[in-house]
Amino acid sequence: MRLNSVQNALHKKHITFTYTEEEGCGSIDFLHRGLGYHIWEYADTDIPVGVETNLMHAGRSEEVEGDYEVTLCEWIEQFF
């Protein structure tokens, strides 16, 4: 199971989501107030190094690398 901190943050906010995992990378999709959001991990070789997400701008995706789970949890806490 990947993206555990992010999943916990969404649970805390009572946001229902779907989680899938493929090739060692986690993927979360959810709806909030009628808008669709995604968090998709990507890997460099076999190790996840970042995510593509539209949490900040529902219509535009951006990449977050480094300690991305902390960043995503902060965004979820602040904006949802």
Nearest to 73 by CA among 58, 51, 48: 51
State pLDDT tens for residues 36-76.
999 999 998 878 899 999 999 888 999 999 999 999 999 99
pLDDT for the residue numbered 48: 87
Burial of 16 (0-12, 13-18, 19+ CB in 10 A): exposed
| DSSP state, residue 1 | -
3-class secondary-structure state, position 8 = helix
pLDDT for the residue numbered 46: 79
Q: Could you tell me if 78 and 56 are in contact, meaning their C-beta atoms sit under 8 angstroms apart?
A: no
- Residue 51's DSSP bridge partners are 41, 64
pLDDT for the residue numbered 77: 96
pLDDT for the residue numbered 59: 83
